[in-house]
Amino acid sequence: MIRLLRETRYTETDWGSMKLVLLRPQEQEGKLPGLLWLHGGGYYEGMAEMVYFSRGRDAAQRFGAVVVSPEYRLSGTAPYPAAIDDCYTALLWLRDHIDELGIDENRIMVGGESAGGGLCAALCMMARDRGEVQISFQMPLYPMLDCEDTESSRDNHSMFWNTKKNHEAWKLYLGELWGSENVPPYASPSRQKDYSGLPPCYTFVADGEPFLCETVKFVEDLNRAGVPAKVDVFSADQHAFDAFFPWKKASKDARAAFLKNFGEAIGVKEEEKKEV
């Protein structure tokens, strides 16, 4: 198990200072992967410190990744495009600090869970379109991608996230765009028409949660565009099952699958690392 340093940094934006929570190894040898990790919370809640309990923390502790988690603005006070703009600012900050943090410029990665997974997907699209940062891999876990109902989100009554909460969250995030036919893919990544040139992807999702269909479709769209992408579907009734029920078999299996795929993405075989 790698011992980690926890730091708080700040970066200036056009609205003020944005907090960045960093996790990185206490001892470092060579260049390390850099991982921008985006927290969940339906776009309207959550905080950067949630990285401490995330798969992003696992990547830091197992593989020594340098993890940056931004405190992006929440939709209750600043709807779209505030959050994605803040995440892009954090991505540029990571890029600009690769030498200081010992990050390999060819292994800049993005991940997140739930709404953070949606922001991850949108950020990869934005980075591709702007051409300022090359993202090598994306890990949008059970991502919140589609502002319209899907077969799995239309009539879902799960405990932690369900149809009612999903509608309320999208309405708050999209603001005046809610119900519009002109929602851009940076707001709802399922609106994307061109998946070519996006980073390879790994994700997982539960078979009983609202975001099942949009997650599977996202991976299928990437594959059709020639982008390597994989999704593991685990048997669980709850959204974010790995976070809420970490002791259950499905959660342990999901965590192991994430670490295996993360290791492969950075060129490290899982058997070369000890268990956390």
Cβ 238 vs Cβ 208: under 8 Å: yes
> What are the pLDDT tens digits along the chain (276 aa)?
899 999 999 999 999 999 999 999 998 888 999 999 999 999 999 999 999 999 999 999 999 999 999 999 999 999 999 999 999 999 999 999 999 999 999 999 999 999 999 999 999 999 999 999 999 999 999 999 999 999 999 998 888 899 999 999 999 999 999 989 899 999 999 999 999 999 999 999 999 999 999 999 999 999 999 999 999 999 999 999 999 999 999 999 999 999 999 999 999 865 555 443
Give the chain's length.
276
DSSP 8-state symbol, 134: -
Residue range of the domain that includes 181: 4-272
Cα separation, 106 vs 184, whole angstroms: 29
Cα separation, 239 vs 211, whole angstroms: 8
| pTM of the entire predicted model | 0.96
142: left (phi over 0), alpha (psi -120 to 50) or beta: left
Number of folded domains that form the chain: 1
Hey, what are 241's tokens?
Answer: 């099952």
Which residues have CB under 8 Å from 84's CB, separation 6+? Answer: 119, 122, 123, 126, 186, 187
Partnered with residue 66 across adjacent β-strands are 34
The per-residue pLDDT for 232 is 98
The string of DSSP codes covering 50-109 is GGGGSHHHHHHHHH--EEEEE-PPPTTTS-TTHHHHHHHHHHHHHHHTHHHHTEEEEEEE
Q: What is the CATH number of the domain that holds 171?
A: 3.40.50.1820
Three-state secondary structure call for residue 137: strand
The per-residue pLDDT for 249 is 97
pLDDT per position as a tens digit, 92-127: 999 999 999 999 999 999 999 999 999 999 999 999
Pairing relationship of beta strands 137-141 and 229-234 according to DSSP bridges = unpaired
The per-residue pLDDT for 271 is 52
Cα separation, 74 vs 76, whole angstroms: 6
Q: Which residue's entry shows tokens 């931004």?
A: 70
